[in-house]
Amino acid sequence: MADPALHPETRLQQQQQTQPLKRIAIDYNPGACTHCPDSNTITLTFDHRGGARWRSTTRFPYGTFSSLIQCPKGNTSGLNFNVYLSSLEGNKSQDEIDFEFLGNDKTIVQTNYYTTGNGNREQIHDLGFDCSDGFHEYIIKWGPNLEWLIDGNLVRREERKEGEGFPEKPMFLYASVWDASHIEEGRWTGPYVRCDAPYVCLYKDIHVPVGTAMDGSSDS
């Protein structure tokens, strides 16, 4: 966590300052992920090879994270596309903060957060647009409180409360496209229909906090 001795105004300034994401790691299927650091763009493709997942190469203890995202076009039933923070994907005691798009309805987005592996804090938000029609900005602000913003508009805020779980572990920035049709027997994202593959999710102007990056090699 951040140095508690920092003046609150200094902490607030650090939480809001961002810089372009320069380096990523690709966790699986690198052929389905294209990264162009010069233009700050990342493309994820879901096709016969499956999807892919990228992440920042460093963790962050707090801060503001943002990306412009255009979700895949066509009938995306069954797929999940997202941007989120996680202390370590695959670790069952992870902390996590999510934006998740559900392929059976591209006019909504789901937010959620986990503390030591415990989630069940999902909320569904009407976007007022089809997330595949163009780029929109999605922002996670993680500090004394949690905030999710879309195109500059606050859609959810969670305050830190004594005795209740709150994300505290340093986290990577992640994004992926994957087949989630097996979750809840297809009730979450719908059945995968594959009729419009390949499905392409575009990320650009990806920003992460300034001056707070930590070594990403730890597995805790």
Query: Which amino acid, residue 171?
Result: M
- Is residue 185 part of the annotated active site? The answer reads no
Element (H, E) at 204: strand 199-209
Q: What count of other Cβ atoms lies within 10 Å of the Cβ of residue 7?
A: 8
Q: What are phi and psi of 50, to 5 degrees?
A: 95, -160
Q: Can you give the pLDDT at residue 163?
A: 81
Residues of the chain with pLDDT under 70: 1-15, 216-220
Q: Where does 41-209 sit in CATH, by number?
A: 2.60.120.200
pLDDT digits (tens, 9 = 90+) for 171-220: 999 999 999 999 999 999 999 999 999 999 999 999 999 988 887 654 43
Asked whether 140 and 67 are in contact (CB, 8 A), the reply is no
Q: How far apart are CA 161 and CA 155, in angstroms?
A: 19
Q: Can you give the pLDDT at residue 219?
A: 40
Q: Can you give the pLDDT at residue 220?
A: 37
**89, 96, 168, 185: which one is catalytic?**
96
Q: How far apart are CA 65 and CA 18, in angstroms?
A: 7
Q: Can you give the pLDDT at residue 91?
A: 81
- Is residue 100 part of the annotated active site? The answer reads yes
Strand partners, 157: 147
- With 0.85 as the threshold, say if the pTM is over it: yes
Q: Can you give the pLDDT at residue 114?
A: 95
**9, 89, 100, 158: which one is catalytic?**
100
Asked whether 84 and 175 are in contact (CB, 8 A), the reply is yes
Q: Can you give the pLDDT at residue 89?
A: 87
Please write down the long-range contacts of 6-12, taking CB distance under 8 Å and 24 or more positions apart.
Answer: 11/143, 12/143
Q: In the chain, where are the structural domains located? A: 41-209
Q: Can you give the pLDDT at residue 120?
A: 87
Q: Considering only CA atoms, which of 211, 16, 171 is closest in space to residue 83?
A: 171
